Structure formats: structure tokens, C-alpha cells
Amino acid sequence: MLVLMRQDATPDQIREVQLKIGELGFRAHEIPGAERTAIGITGNHGAIAPDVFTTLPGVDRAIPVSKPYKLVGREARPESSVITVGTSRIGGTELAVMAGPCSVESREQIVAAARSVRSAGARFLRGGAFKPRSSPYSFQGMKEEGLVLLREAREKTGLAIVTEVKDTGTLPAVAEVADVLQIGARNMSNFSLLEAVGELRTPVLLKRGIAATIEELLMAAEYIASRGNLQIILCERGIRTFETATRNTLDLNAIPVLKRLTHLPVIVDPSHGVGMWEAVPAMSMAAIAAGADGLMIEVHPDPASALSDGAQSLKPSRFTALMNDIRRLAPVVGRTLNEGSTT
């Protein structure tokens, strides 16, 4: 922490800050400046609340210098983490692709989606049974029934299941089926839910909130990690900006930045990130080229009849074509994509 005094701060006010630092058991380092005095603080472990100082007279600002997260930081663990899900790994050289419909809508739909996703070479099936929707009058998902269908789709295809958990009440039921528990963007700061999944050992896919900074995303991951679950996959899915031509603004800058700050794997959801299916292939390629460890893509057997997110869902044929492009891109960035699959 660095405390900056106002230009007109009195010696007494400077002394008061130094005393406060002493009280807290830390060491104060005065830096007399041309314009103003700054006081460095050392001896603290973890972050100090700036307010402790900004409320003192004569103080201009207090600037935290140490990072607020520990367990998920690269400084705590220099080598990258690899999350293992069944026979697949997320964060290694092989790209992880999670694909499927926004919502589970029927047995036919989810099984058809799973088969096409698998034949295209993906190893994870995404699909929501419990859907957080901005309107109480919109389709809220098939709930428990949807979970049953997801289990069935896994049995039929061998794909790992990635599905969203929207509250602590339904967590036990969802956790029983999910191979990867998805925390949606709206719940990134739902700390009670983060703590609950932190108590489990199931891998968690944590989506960045639409207005969350990269640091806040890491602090949300720290909530999960602090409860003992380090099986965390971060997901960039677009942030909210002034631009209205696209549903969100996909922040691919976050990939190289996160790779430097954390050891956790990072994947990208271009479907929500841009919000229109025509642009999903371009943004999928961009995400992999930027260094993402994988993708989460919405694929629907019949987008025009989808109960949600139809406009941003790819048809199976387009998804297959995209997977072939990704397969050609992968080696250029030192990656591989499921060579076993037929295309």
C-alpha cells in the first residue's frame, strides 16, 4: 500500500498516518517528494483496505500494490493447471471444445445435438436444464427433467456434460449429473454459490460477469479456491460496453492478460461474446489464435425453432466446418484438436 498525502498536508497529518500504520503493526516508509509526500507501507500480508487511510485528514489517495488474490495467482503456482475430466484434459496442449444447445428442450433435440457435436470432434456437451432468464415469463428450462436427458445423452455419446447451476438449492441435483459445473455470468458474484461449489471437487467453469474486471473474475475464482476446489476453468464470454451492434463485446485481450496473472485454464464463449451465429466462426478462430485453451459454442439441430439463443446458435453442418478450421489452426499455435474424431 502506498499512501499519498495532499500537497497541503501538514507534518501532523503525515505523522498521524505513520502512527496509524504503526498501530496496525506495519512499517511506514516516508518518501518526501517535490510536490507531495508519499508513505510506503510494508510488513503487511495480503491487502489492506485503502479506507483505513483515505479517511484520515490530509490523505489524497491510498494505492494498493499487492494483488488481492493468492491461490489462483501465477505467483502462487508458476506452472499452468490442467483440469482432468474423464479422459479429457482442459489446459493442456489439446484444445477443449464444449458445444451444444443453450437449453435442453427434448430428448430428440439433446441427443441429436450430442451426436452431431461428437461427430464433429468435440468432447464436451453443453446444455442448460436450469436457465436464468431476464424475464420471469420466458422459458426457464426443463429443470430436473433436463438433467435426466443430459445423463442419457452422455450415456449415448460418452461426451462429458457441462451444465449450469443457478442456485444453491438445485446444486445437489445438478452436481449429481454434471461433469463440469457452469457458473453463469450473472452468478459470478453470487458468493454463496461460489462457496458452495468450492466445497465440492467437481470442476467448475466460471464465466466472467458482463461488467466484471479481470481482477474481479480472479477474486471470484479465489472464493471457490479458498474452499478447497482448485478445479476451476475461467471463461471469457463478452462484456457490456456502449456498442450495440453486437450482443456483448468479446474481450479477447483477457486471454493473454489472464495467462500472465493466473495458472488456471481459460476458454472462450464466442456465441454469447458476439451474439450472432454468422460471426461465431470468426471469433472462435480468433480466440484460439489468442491462446485460449478451448471454446464453448452454442450448436442447435434447428436454430430457428430454439427456445433460447437461436440467433447465436450454429447448425451442426456449420459447427463441423468450424471444427475442421480449428483443426488446421491448432498446430499454428502449438495445440492439437481431438484427432480421433471422424470428419
Residue 179 CB, shortest distance to its own copies, in Å, is 23
92 lies in the site for its own copies, by CB under 8 A: no
25 lies in the site for its own copies, by CB under 8 A: no
332 lies in the site for its own copies, by CB under 8 A: yes
DSSP 66: S
Distance CA 27, CA 22 (A): 6
260 lies in the site for its own copies, by CB under 8 A: yes
Among 35, 79, 155, 339, binds its own copies (CB under 8 A): 35
- Asked if 226 and 71 touch (Cβ cutoff 8 Å), the reply is yes
Residue 227 CB, shortest distance to its own copies, in Å, is 8
The x, y and z cell numbers of residue 253, run together, are 485481450
Residue closer to its own copies by CB (options 173, 290) is 290
Residue 114 CB, shortest distance to its own copies, in Å, is 21
Residue closer to its own copies by CB (options 36, 154) is 36
19 lies in the site for its own copies, by CB under 8 A: no
Pick from 116, 131, 122: which is nearest to 187 by CA? 131
The x, y and z cell numbers of residue 251, run together, are 474481450
Q: b/e string for 22-35 if b means 16 or more Cβ within 10 A? A: eeeebebeeeeeee
Residue closer to its own copies by CB (options 106, 138) is 138
* 136-165 positions binding its own copies, by CB under 8 A: 136-138
CA dihedral 34, 37, 41, 46 (to 10 degrees): -90
| CB atoms inside a 10 Å sphere around CB 93 | 12
Question: How many chain residues touch its own copies (CB under 8 A)?
Answer: 106
178 lies in the site for its own copies, by CB under 8 A: no
* 207-236 positions binding its own copies, by CB under 8 A: 209-211, 213-216, 219, 222-223, 226
Residue 26 CB, shortest distance to its own copies, in Å, is 9
Residue closer to its own copies by CB (options 86, 278) is 278
- Secondary structure (H, E, C), 189-235: CCHHHHHHHHCCCCCEEEECCCCCCHHHHHHHHHHHHHCCCCCEEEE
Residue closer to its own copies by CB (options 159, 268) is 268
Among 25, 79, 87, 134, binds its own copies (CB under 8 A): 134
68 lies in the site for its own copies, by CB under 8 A: yes
* 37-66 positions binding its own copies, by CB under 8 A: 38, 40, 42-47, 49-52, 54-56, 63, 65-66
What are the backbone dihedrals phi and psi of residue 8, each rounded to the nearest 5 degrees, phi first? -95, 15
**Per-residue x/- marks for its own copies, 287-306, CB under 8 A?**
xxxxx-----------xx-x
Residue 75 CB, shortest distance to its own copies, in Å, is 5
Distance CA 5, CA 7 (A): 6
* 237-256 positions binding its own copies, by CB under 8 A: 239-246, 249-256
Q: Helix 214-226 crosses helix 254-261 at what angle (to 10 degrees)?
A: 40
* 307-326 positions binding its own copies, by CB under 8 A: 308-311, 325
Distance CA 281, CA 317 (A): 12
- Asked if 28 and 39 touch (Cβ cutoff 8 Å), the reply is yes
